[in-house]
């Protein structure tokens, strides 16, 4: 990344850590401790392992459904590398370039990589919806938290499916030729439009291949996706209920899922402290004062920071190359577009 983007990333992480310290300091005079029972950490680590393996299996089985062979080790590196790329870029924008680059370096054709990534994205939407429906039934008396989570998920799913539908429509009509009038009004000059057209042609090929999907591995991928989303409900309850079994389960399980997906729209890398503030506002009355600081710090560690560490170890250098190449390509497109417009 450029020095400016590294600086913005560093400032965002500094803000995130600073907000955490501020929230912790608010309870420092009331006997707050960051210590948790060993079993709490073991359960949280188990949840992380299950979540990562489920995602890797989802990617592998998604590939198999499309007739693509993908080793589990490559799928695992793809998941963790995507986490690392998402963490160090605004609005998690580095996740997909990182995953694409890792899969492409494994020897897959770009069209095959797109099939896998699109399948993963849509499985995420439908499995998230399935989990929300399930928890709405199980926690039907939870009230506002269920409605808020349903609203967040509905918005997320609508945006993803809407983008997919728009891309499909454009791929059938605008995959060739000069930019139409509406595109020029959106400042999509010739360089940018050519980039979009190449992506649309690949998308059309990708969608056409869906007609030949193998149902059994596709179903297995969906189940793995449901597991990967569902296991995220268990981390905070594992950290809190092992110390205070009487704490309310519904908010501990449901609010964090909304935080994790809501953080995707925060432009600052790492959330810039927004996740921590939302955690305090939503759960400050449900987690006892003596446990709040430990719950916040360790929940954030097991749902965010640990993935940065694992991703850096698994594919750190590859992810940085992917982010750098994406930035170089964007600069090249902008330069080419400026020349075209000047001509």
pLDDT, the chain, mean? 82
- Report the 10 Å Cβ neighbour count for 135: 21
51-94 pLDDT, tens digit each: 999 999 999 999 998 888 999 999 999 999 999 998 888 778 78
User: Where in the chain are the domains?
Assistant: 3-342
Q: Of 255, 244, 260, 258, which is closest to residue 284 (Cα–Cα)?
A: 255
- At residue 144, the pLDDT reads 79
- At residue 244, the pLDDT reads 94
Distance CA 219, CA 235 (A): 26
Q: For residue 176, is pLDDT > 70?
A: no
281-319 pLDDT, tens digit each: 899 889 988 898 899 999 999 999 999 999 999 998 888
- At residue 209, the pLDDT reads 62
Distance CA 265, CA 271 (A): 9
- At residue 298, the pLDDT reads 95
**Tokens at 175, concatenated:** 């995959």
Of the candidate ranges 24-33, 67-76, 131-140, the one whose mean pLDDT is the lowest: 24-33
Q: For residue 245, is pLDDT > 80?
A: yes
**Tokens at 198, concatenated:** 């190449």
Q: Predicted confidence band at 340 (pLDDT cuts at 50, 70, 90)?
A: very low
- At residue 299, the pLDDT reads 95
- At residue 341, the pLDDT reads 40
- Report the 10 Å Cβ neighbour count for 28: 11
What is the DSSP annotation of 181-202?
HHHHHTT--HHHHHHHHHHHHH
**Tokens at 13, concatenated:** 């992480």
- At residue 338, the pLDDT reads 42
Q: Predicted confidence band at 249 (pLDDT cuts at 50, 70, 90)?
A: very high
- Residue 177 or residue 41, greater confidence: 41
- Report the 10 Å Cβ neighbour count for 222: 20
107 burial type by CB count under 10 A (0-12 exposed, 13-18 middle, 19+ buried): exposed
- Out of 2-11, 173-182, 267-276, 312-321, the most confident range is 312-321
Distance CA 204, CA 283 (A): 45
């Amino acid at each position: 990344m450029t020095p400016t983007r590294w600086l913005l990333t560093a400032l965002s992480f500094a803000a995130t850590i600073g907000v955490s310290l501020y929230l912790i300091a608010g309870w420092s005079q009331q006997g707050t401790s960051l210590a948790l029972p060993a079993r709490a950490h073991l359960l949280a680590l188990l949840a992380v392992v299950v979540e990562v393996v489920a995602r890797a299996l989802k990617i592998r089985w998604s590939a198999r459904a499309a007739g693509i062979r993908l080793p589990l080790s490559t799928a695992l590196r793809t998941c963790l590398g995507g986490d690392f790329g998402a963490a160090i870029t605004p609005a998690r924008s580095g996740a997909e370039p990182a995953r694409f680059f890792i899969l492409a370096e494994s020897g897959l054709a770009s069209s095959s990589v797109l099939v896998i990534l699109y399948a993963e994205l849509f499985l995420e939407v439908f499995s998230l919806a399935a989990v929300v429906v399930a928890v709405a039934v199980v926690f039907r008396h939870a009230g506002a938290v269920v409605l808020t989570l349903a609203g967040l998920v509905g918005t997320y799913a609508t945006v993803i499916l809407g983008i997919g539908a728009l891309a499909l429509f454009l791929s059938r009509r605008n995959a060739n030729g000069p930019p139409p009038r509406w595109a020029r009004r959106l400042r999509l000059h010739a360089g940018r439009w050519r980039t979009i057209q190449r992506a649309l042609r690949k998308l059309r090929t990708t969608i056409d291949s869906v007609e030949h999907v193998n149902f059994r591995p596709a179903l297995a991928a969906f189940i793995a996706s449901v597991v990967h989303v569902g296991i995220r409900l268990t981390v905070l309850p594992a950290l809190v209920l092992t110390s205070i079994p009487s704490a309310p389960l519904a908010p501990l399980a449901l609010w964090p899922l909304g935080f994790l997906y809501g953080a995707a729209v925060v432009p600052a890398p790492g959330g810039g402290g927004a996740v921590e503030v939302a955690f305090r506002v939503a759960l400050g009355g449900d987690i006892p004062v003596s446990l709040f600081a430990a719950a916040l710090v360790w929940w954030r560690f097991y749902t965010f920071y640990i993935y940065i560490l694992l991703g850096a170890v698994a594919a750190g250098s590859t992810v940085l190359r992917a982010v750098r190449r994406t930035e170089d390509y964007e600069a090249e497109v902008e330069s080419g577009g400026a020349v075209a417009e000047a001509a």
